[in-house]
Amino acid sequence: MHAIEEQTALLEAQLANLDFPQTPSNLYDPLRYFFTLGGKRMRPMLTLMSAELFGLPKQKALSAALAVEIFHNFSLIHDDIMDEAPLRRKQATLHEKWNQSVAILSGDVLLVKAYQELCKQDSRHLPELLQVFNKTAVEVCEGQQMDMDFETRTNVSIDEYIEMIRLKTSVLLGCALELGAIVADTTSANKALIYEFGQHIGIAFQIQDDILDLYADPMKFGKQVGGDVLANKKTLLVLKAIELASPAELSLFHSLQNESVPQQKIDATRALFDQLGVREAAREMMDSHYKIALRALEQIQVEVTQKLALKNLAEVLFNREV
């Protein structure tokens, strides 16, 4: 079995074994359901890979890895309420399948469970693990609030946007990797570098998400191509377009936001973006974060061959089409 598949299988088995009590069933049934919806399990995999990078058998970082994945699922449950999302991985979200109170409270208890899982690691690592985990958890909340604020703001800058995606999603990748590094007792410099790697891979990944929304191959993409355009979402493509547009092009862009025929809206917006070179500009930003990430990985003081797994993972991520 391929190493990544093997790790995913290990993680799925552990997540399936999360020992939620039977009662109150309205608190724990929703969580049992949510973990059956699957997911890439990318974050806990990063924790395990980081532990291995620094010479620790991955089994010894399992609780830290699970804590990150549990936290991620907590944030998805609450984000889905705030975003009024009806579906998550093509299945009903918790507030849809049960109700909103159930989704709030199940999310709350899941956040506590993340801490319980983290606390299973050796107590000598606890202060440092908690310090990184707490800081990250606060940042993820801040990123979600920024994202919500952007919906009603008209003057979001590209710097603010990058800061939002950094907080909302990228710091958790950095955290996932750093927790593995902490458990493996590596140097402070290595811990900081692996965190940097994760953070910039995360930013690059999110930029790619924005690009794929409009430029993915519809035959391969799992979602509607152009979904962000239809929702008038302020993605990096939009912010870049606003930056690069002439007054006339800007006015065209704004009029397209009210276009009522979906395919027409997507095609015309894509044509305008192509004319402005938005895709290339976004790709450049993505590449620059990808390079920062790789440079951090290079500087980590371990055998070069040890780094291949993470380097390969980064490459796979950036050659994805979905």
Q: Which residues bind a second copy (CB under 8 A)?
A: 21, 24, 26-27, 78, 81-82, 100-102, 104-105, 107-109, 111-113, 115-116, 119, 123, 126-127, 130-131, 134, 137-138, 141-142, 144-146, 148-149
To which residue do tokens 């979906």 refer? 262
CB of 196 to a second copy, least distance (A): 23
CB of 255 to a second copy, least distance (A): 30
Nearer to a second copy, 12 or 142 (CB): 142
Alpha-carbon dihedral sign for residues 275, 281, 287, 293 = negative
Given a contact cutoff of 8 angstroms between Cβ atoms, the answer to whether 114 and 74 are in contact is yes
CB of 136 to a second copy, least distance (A): 9
CB of 301 to a second copy, least distance (A): 27
Nearer to a second copy, 141 or 244 (CB): 141
Token pair in block for residue 104 = 């709030």
Name the residue among 72, 84, 86 with its Cα closest to residue 38. Answer: 72
Residue 129 CA to residue 114 CA, distance in Å, equals 12
Nearer to a second copy, 16 or 82 (CB): 82
Nearer to a second copy, 27 or 313 (CB): 27
Given a contact cutoff of 8 angstroms between Cβ atoms, the answer to whether 286 and 209 are in contact is no
CB of 68 to a second copy, least distance (A): 14
**φ, ψ of residue 91 in degrees (nearest 5):** -115, 160
Nearer to a second copy, 105 or 244 (CB): 105
CB of 43 to a second copy, least distance (A): 17
Name the residue among 69, 68, 45, 41 with its Cα closest to residue 58. Answer: 45
Nearer to a second copy, 28 or 253 (CB): 28
Give the helix ranges, DSSP H, for 20-125.
25-36, 42-53, 62-82, 94-97, 100-118
Task: Name every residue whose Cβ is closer than 8 Å to that of residue 315 and which is 6 or more positions away in sequence.
Answer: none
